[in-house]
Structure 1
Amino acid sequence: MELSVIILLCTFFVLLILNVPISFSIGIATLATMLYTIDFIPAIVTVAQRMTGGINSFALLAIPFFIFSGLIMGQGGIAKRLIECAMALIGMLPGGLSLVNVLSCTLFGGISGSAVAATSAIGSFMIPEMENKGYDRNFAAAVTATAATTGMIIPPSNILIIYAIASGGVSISALFIAGYLPGILLALALMSVCVYTAKKNNFPTEPALPCRVIIKTVAQAIPSLLLIFIVIGGIVGGLFTATEAGVIAVVYSLFLSVFIYKEVKVSELPDLLLKAAGITAIVMFLIAASSAMSWILSYENIPETITEIMLGLSENPLIILLIINIILIIVGAFMDMTPAVLIFTPIFLPVAESIDVSPIHFGIMMVLNLSIGLCSPPVGSVLFVSCSVAKTSIEKIIRPMMPLYLAMIIVLMLVTFIPTISEWLPRTMGLMK
């Protein structure tokens, strides 16, 4: 058993060092381990079966729908109206444009469920705008990268759907509702850093707008914001499942973008569909490969072994949760969220449950933790997108990003050690006991 685990880990990390795509690294490492364990043909068949079984889930159908709706929103003028709404409401505060950036990313991420989409859609407008108004470009890129991660916590979030499947059937509705308070807390923490930085560097503020202009701007954004209430309200109210909510999100975003805002032409839809299919294929292959690796880890009793080891280190739940967080922060810096959730949920969830941490609380903690990895070198996808949009380098935005990192870690610690933050809303709404 020990040699098979060594083969799995060594093969995986060697392939990562050789810059092999993570999905292939996971798949090849799993196959190599199976070849050591059993004969050639049974090994290939077993891996193929586990990969197929990993994506054979009705709940996963929500992912391509939310991906497609997110692409439509990014191109359909929804991001623009959310930015204008945020500008009208808080643009006059200290560091106004940086606050607008955070709020816009939070709103767009909460609608699209994609941190990368939020970074691209919001950053392509806000980063040049902030630079033109006297903000440092690297600070603008850092704000965009960190604020975009709020979309991983605030529903509808694809990664919460994946966690629900990896955990063995945690309620998606409860997870969605549980993400609101931590997501809002994260946004407020980032805004606090923006205000402090703006005052320290004398960044400009925007002039206050007349009330009639504010009302008009907010009214124009209401149709976009309604998507949140339609999707989440329908799921929580039992009107439709998360998968059906994805379909409704596509239909509603199409209606807004094509017929109301008229910024997406019917002739552009095939290209958007093709792009959504490409992203979906990447995500599904990651899920399939990660599911196979999760199975081999379970087959080798790794979760049980790690549970025994961690409980042997300390009986203090706070210490155990701190150790899990440290490991996940390191994992998030090198691994994409999807495989990290699929691989490490079966490993750490039993540990968390053994110290009376609910799967809902642990899921929010885990996703919030791994969200930090999205804007962390060397693998952070959101970090790379933000640098690309800002036309800068990772080395230049690390310094202005450090206070924002600190704010994210403080929020992570609060969510980790105060379960009420993630559990109060779903308990109040009767979604968890």
Structure 2
Amino acid sequence: MTTPFSMCVLMIVGLGVLGLPIGHSMIVASVFYLLLAGLDLGTAAEQILNGLFNSYVLLAVPLFILAADLMNVGTLTDRLLQFCLVLVGRFRGGLGHVNVVSNVIFAGMSGSAIADAVGIGRIIIGMMTKGGKYPIAYAGAITASAAIIGPIIPPSIPMVLYALVSDASIGFLFLGGVVPGLLLGLAFMIMNTMISYRRDFPVEPPVPMREIPRITVKAFPALMLPVILLFGIYGGVMTPTEGAAAAALYALLVSSLLYRSLSLRQLYDAILSSSKATTSVGILIAGALVFNYVVTIENIPNSLQVFMSGFHLSPMGFLLLVNIVLLILGCLLEGSTILLVIVPIFIPTAKALGVDLVQFGVVVVVNIMIGLLTPPYGLLLFIIANMTKQPLGAIVREAIPFILAALAVLMLITFVPETVLWLPRQLGYKG
């Protein structure tokens, strides 16, 4: 028997298969549901307007996107890479380590895996493949893998979206992502070391000691951005949204006035690029707001909670099940869609089982980031394959060890909640 809700879901799938963006598909299908259910069609517009204009936190999304674009068009990325080369370049597989460490540092500025891959990726892949030091596919794979650290270490655009649907504290979510992000970086560096010794990757010549102070001073203004951002937010000086504005302003001032590397044309391109990305995210959020209203009317979250209670799952069993579901969906769907449409369905069950929403949010975001590396949809894989002109299969093969390392970290933060909650609790979190 067909119901309005089943017709709505089928329409979303059908329109998506035909090529309509998922945000538009959800809006059209939700309006169709309202029509079939005999409800006021104006409710769709009401849900979108109320959701977008009453969510002050959403302002952080375009501001973090703009900050990342401004850093990419300036010379901040170049200076950070030179600094990372000083830190870890002298070890076996040094440029692979530079790749990971630079992403860890850049993660404290951008909040976007795509921005990290595009910004750092073009430069570091060129450094790694120059003179045939590393296979192009390997350089691409470690770049894509390291880029997923970006949205886990604060600031984080996916965590902002999770806070929108869960009402969890953005500040504590940001803190919760620090240790898992660092664990991911450590896991990737260990994997890179093992592969480098096995495949005899080169050791970079050490940077002369006399050059280290000069390189550090050049990178210092860029390194101060995450420090200012985090101390401003957790020192009570500004909210995460205000912190996003401060990050964008700081990136603009450093690139244009201090480094003098930002032309008016580059500024225009950065604003245009961030506007396009914001519009894309905005349409997706609008579609999710309307569809989530439909899901609420149909009482889907509570029905799922009742259904899952019949299995008598423990909190850990529930988290394990969510991991499996999200990892499968990550192979098929875009991350923001999962966050805005699928995750809200699980939140009532998580609350009922006593799962901490900060830990749940970090686990969800790590799942979604791993989804960027898993075919057939893995968006980062497509970006890197296009950037390097390598077959997608070659990138995937080289990325498998790093995907396994990421899964190991995911299991750790799932079964050891303190890996996520220790730092928030040190700064007053009572959950």
Q: TM-score, normalised by structure 2?
A: 0.96
Give the 5 Å matches for 1:310-321.
Answer: 310-321=308-319
When structure 1 is superposed on structure 2, of 50-59 and 280-289 the one drifting more is: 50-59
CA distance in 2, matches of 1:393, 1:326: 28
Per-residue CA deviations over 1:235-269 (Å, capped at 9, x if unaligned) read 11110111111111111111110111111113432
Query: Which residue in 1 is equivalent to 2:142?
Result: 143
C-alpha displacement of 1:2:
7.4
CA distance in 2, matches of 1:53, 1:187: 39
- Where has structure 1 moved over 3 Å in runs of 4 or more? none
CA distance in 2, matches of 1:307, 1:227: 42
Query: Which residue in 2 is equivalent to 1:407?
Result: 405
Query: Which residue in 1 is equivalent to 2:162?
Result: 163
CA distance in 2, matches of 1:242, 1:316: 33
Query: Which residue in 1 is equivalent to 2:76?
Result: 78
CA distance in 1, matches of 2:21, 2:331: 15
Give the 5 Å matches for 1:202-213.
Answer: 202-213=200-211
Query: Which residue in 2 is equivalent to 1:134?
Result: 133
Query: Which residue in 1 is equivalent to 2:237?
Result: 239
SS of the residue aligned with 1:377? coil
Give the 5 Å matches for 1:11-410.
Answer: 11-38=11-38, 42-43=40-41, 45-56=42-53, 57-132=55-130, 133-167=132-166, 169-410=167-408
The residue type equivalent to 2:46 in the other structure is Q
C-alpha displacement of 1:211:
2.4
Paired residues of 2:73 and 2:270 also in contact (CA < 8 A): no
CA distance in 1, matches of 2:234, 2:188: 28
CA distance in 2, matches of 1:258, 1:313: 58
The residue type equivalent to 1:163 in the other structure is Y
The residue type equivalent to 1:154 in the other structure is I
SS of the residue aligned with 1:313? coil
CA distance in 2, matches of 1:184, 1:364: 13
CA distance in 2, matches of 1:250, 1:378: 34
CA distance in 1, matches of 2:361, 2:244: 21
CA distance in 2, matches of 1:213, 1:310: 60
Paired residues of 1:173 and 1:431 also in contact (CA < 8 A): no
CA distance in 2, matches of 1:293, 1:262: 46
Q: TM-score, normalised by structure 1?
A: 0.95
Paired residues of 1:54 and 1:292 also in contact (CA < 8 A): no
C-alpha displacement of 1:28:
2.3
Per-residue CA deviations over 1:285-330 (Å, capped at 9, x if unaligned) read 1111111111111111111111122222233322221111111112
C-alpha displacement of 1:78:
0.9
Per-residue CA deviations over 1:166-207 (Å, capped at 9, x if unaligned) read 10x211111111110000001111111111111111111111
SS of the residue aligned with 1:170? coil
The residue type equivalent to 1:141 in the other structure is G
The residue type equivalent to 1:36 in the other structure is L
CA distance in 2, matches of 1:190, 1:4: 47
- For the aligned residues, what is the CA RMSD? 1.6
Identity of aligned residues (%): 36
Contiguous gaps of at least 5 residues in structure 1: none
Contiguous gaps of at least 5 residues in structure 2: none
The residue type equivalent to 2:10 in the other structure is C
C-alpha displacement of 1:53:
2.1
Give the 5 Å matches for 1:407-426.
Answer: 407-426=405-424
CA distance in 2, matches of 1:152, 1:104: 14
CA distance in 1, matches of 2:104, 2:297: 40
The residue type equivalent to 1:231 in the other structure is L
SS of the residue aligned with 1:365? helix
SS of the residue aligned with 2:150? helix
The residue type equivalent to 1:135 in the other structure is Y
CA distance in 1, matches of 2:361, 2:142: 25
The residue type equivalent to 1:20 in the other structure is L
Per-residue CA deviations over 1:120-175 (Å, capped at 9, x if unaligned) read 111101112211242111111111111101111111111111111110x2111111
CA distance in 2, matches of 1:295, 1:2: 20
